[in-house]
Amino acid sequence: MPESERPLRISDLEKISGIGRSTIHYYLREGLLSPPRKTGKTMAYYDKGHARELEEIRELQAGGYPISYIREIMSGGRREAEGGSATEGEASRSDRRQQIMDRAVEIFARKGYHQTNVTEIARAVGVGHSTFYIYFPSKMALFTECVDRVFQEMFAGVWEDVKGEKNPIKRLNKRAEVVLKSHPQFIDMMNVLKSIEEDDPALEAKKREIYVSIVETVKRDLQRAIEMGLIPEIDVEVAAYIIVGFLESSWLLISMNDNYSVDYILQVINEIIFPPTGTFKKPAKDKAKKVPGKSAKKSA
């Protein structure tokens, strides 16, 4: 069999696409990706066509398109898995899986990762401890998929609110407003994700993947604002990370002190990040790099 036609396991697809398996599973559940060819309950095979589809999905997401639109675009070229559509049993299994994730998100967001156990999640759903492992191989696998789901739902919700706004600064404000007012679980889950200190390469990759996705979106709006003369020339990457950090801290402040509203906090962030044009200039590069804390020697 030619190398190009060799069936791929999900681990192969991860390496080729650079996309984690929890994200691939999310795309499958959402109907963005063609179903794989199943040869058993736990064995499925993919091909190079799936890698191309993943690349297209990633490009559409980078362009700011919502899940609903991407699903519509991808459905035209989506292929059916060998053996036909999902059976009633498979649909029921998918529903139960969704129920587990629904309750897990609530518990993880409230208690954190380490304080949550599988028995508690299973009890909240009304299934046995051993039944849980039919749907997820571990608590970590469940948590990673929950983070993916919350992120994708937030991304789609924000798009619906900002898609008609042409002013990039107003777009940024709308993004922040929607996240803080309508998707607090996303910030809760991100804080839980950052608090996990386990040496897990997949988890670290998930953190980077989500932060890069958010930062790239903010960077595009900042760059557009500079081109339109709405803000002075700044380092958009540094500014984007600062804005994301402000949003995370803002939710902490709101949750601890109800004297502060989302609108007021956004007003303060705007005053800090977006001063009037010309008041925030990019520093010129020094010929000789100075070491912080050390003054230059005076000539004799």
- Length reported for the chain: 300
Structure tokens at 61: 């997401």
Among 201-205, 208-212, 294-298, the range scoring the smallest mean pLDDT is 294-298
Alpha-carbon distances of 85 from 9, 27, 67, 277, rounded to whole Å: 21, 17, 22, 57
Task: Name residue 46's beta-bridge partners.
Answer: 8
Q: What is the pLDDT of residue 187?
A: 76
| pTM given for the model | 0.57
140-273 fold: Tetracycline Repressor; domain 2 (1.10.357)
Give the domain ranges of the chain: 1-85, 87-136, 140-273
CB 150 within 8 A of CB 192: no
Among 22-31, 98-107, 180-189, 214-223, where is mean pLDDT lowest? 180-189
Q: Which amino acid is at 189?
A: M
Asked if the 87-136 domain carries CATH number 1.10.10.60, the reply is yes
Higher-scoring residue by pLDDT: 77, 171:
171
1-85 and 140-273 agree in CATH topology = no
Quote the distance between the C-alpha of residue 6 and its chain's center.
Answer: 31
CB 165 within 8 A of CB 171: yes
Whether pLDDT at 179 is above 50: yes
CATH class held by domain 1-85: mainly alpha
What tens digit of pLDDT does each residue of 145-171 get?
Answer: 888 888 777 777 667 667 778 899 888
